[in-house]
Amino acid sequence: MTFTAKPKDGAVWITGASEGIGKAVALQMADEGFDVYISARSKDKLEVIASSYRGKGNIFALPLDVTDRTANLKCVEHIVSKSNKLAVCILNAGTFKPMRGDNLSFENFDFTHSVNIDGVINGLVPVVDTMKEAGQGQIAIVSSVAGYGGLPKNGPYGLSKAGLINLAESLKYDFDKMNIKIQIVTPGFIDTPLTEKNDFPMPFLMPVDKAAQRVVKGLEKPNFEITFPRRFTYMLKFMNLWCYPVYFWMVRKITGG
Ligand SMILES: NC(=O)c1ccc[n+]([C@@H]2O[C@H](COP(=O)([O-])OP(=O)(O)OC[C@H]3O[C@@H](n4cnc5c(N)ncnc54)[C@H](OP(=O)(O)O)[C@@H]3O)[C@@H](O)[C@H]2O)c1
């Protein structure tokens, strides 16, 4: 039996929760009765979400830049000191900057890596320490379908998201023995501030509240992957089953290359 947290088991911590998917998931987890700690850099936005929430559970603002390793550790210590146990952690903070192959940029690689990879690792390590001590826990890492296979203009982002999928797969073997459920979240296009700046048609674009519902329901299931909208994400999975010439042909056809 894999561990599935109930509000009595402890608090929830969500990074990247000042807007978008993280904020929507926080509100829904609080409605399930959890104490939810929300982190991001925008202290003002977090405080507005926390103070205006009226529901079953509680929301607490916990400002954080995920690239700051010590600050992540302090957040985990704070949650444990206030709520006794951290039952669920959703490592969701992420960023996306497109990069063309004819315009490579160290700055883009470094920036994306620092938030999407280091930002996850910085939270993951102290979270696992405390869950190991508690003998149970649940961790969800938010990746993307861009991690399934290379997509145009996605170099730094795809690299980071593919890395997160591999990381979660790799950790699952030991985490299962430790009673820590690890899941990977692989959304397609979700209507959030992150995708607002996209200047191309986004197939099967999903409203953020619906995406959050999928995450919350997915957390209650034993499945390793939480993926949505499935019509789109399964299509991408299927494309990745083909040999490379066919894969590249299909991606070029769909995206215009
Ligand atoms: N939207 C999509 O279509 C889509 C698809 C696939 C995967 N995803 C993934 O889903 C996750 C959430 O995306 P979203 O669409 O909700 O993005 P979003 O609307 O841009 O929200 C991103 C969140 O991350 C926070 N954040 C960014 N840098 C941070 C840092 N250094 N430290 C702490 N928090 C930071 C932002 O808050 P502050 O700016 O206040 O720090 C914000 O709360 C990301 O990992 C993204 O890659 C999104």
What are the chain's domains? 7-255 (3.40.50.720)
Q: Which of 95, 110, 208 to mutate to test the pocket of ligand 1 (most atoms within 8 A of CB)?
A: 95
Contact 34, 11 (CB under 8 A): yes
Give yes or no for residue 197 having a pLDDT over 90.
no
Per-residue pLDDT band at 198 (split at 50, 70, 90): confident
pLDDT at 2: 87
Residue 40 near ligand 1, beta carbon < 6 Å: yes
Rounded to whole angstroms, the Cα distance separating 157 from 116 reads 8
Rounded to whole angstroms, the Cα distance separating 233 from 104 reads 28
C-alpha count within 13 angstroms, C-beta hemisphere, residue 152? 13
* Amino acid occupying residue 144: S
Both tokens of 151, joined, read: 């997509």
Closest CA to ligand 1's atom 47: 94
Q: In the chain, what percentage of residues exceed pLDDT 90?
A: 96
Give yes or no for residue 1 having a pLDDT over 80.
no
pLDDT at 256: 84
Question: What integer best gives the mean pLDDT of the chain?
Answer: 97
Ligand 1 centre from 169 Cα, in Å? 22
Give yes or no for residue 237 having a pLDDT over 80.
yes
* H helix intervals, the chain: 20-31, 43-52, 69-83, 106-112, 119-134, 155-177, 193-196, 208-219, 230-239, 244-255
Q: 């830049």: which residue's tokens?
A: 65
Give yes or no for residue 220 having a pLDDT over 90.
yes
Ligand 1 centre from 249 Cα, in Å? 30
Rounded to whole angstroms, the Cα distance separating 208 from 38 reads 17
Q: Which residues are catalytic?
A: 157
Rounded to whole angstroms, the Cα distance separating 180 from 172 reads 8
* Amino acid occupying residue 6: K
Average pLDDT over residues 182-204: 94
Q: 């599935």: which residue's tokens?
A: 4
Distance of CA 209 to the CA centre of its chain: 15
pLDDT at 74: 98
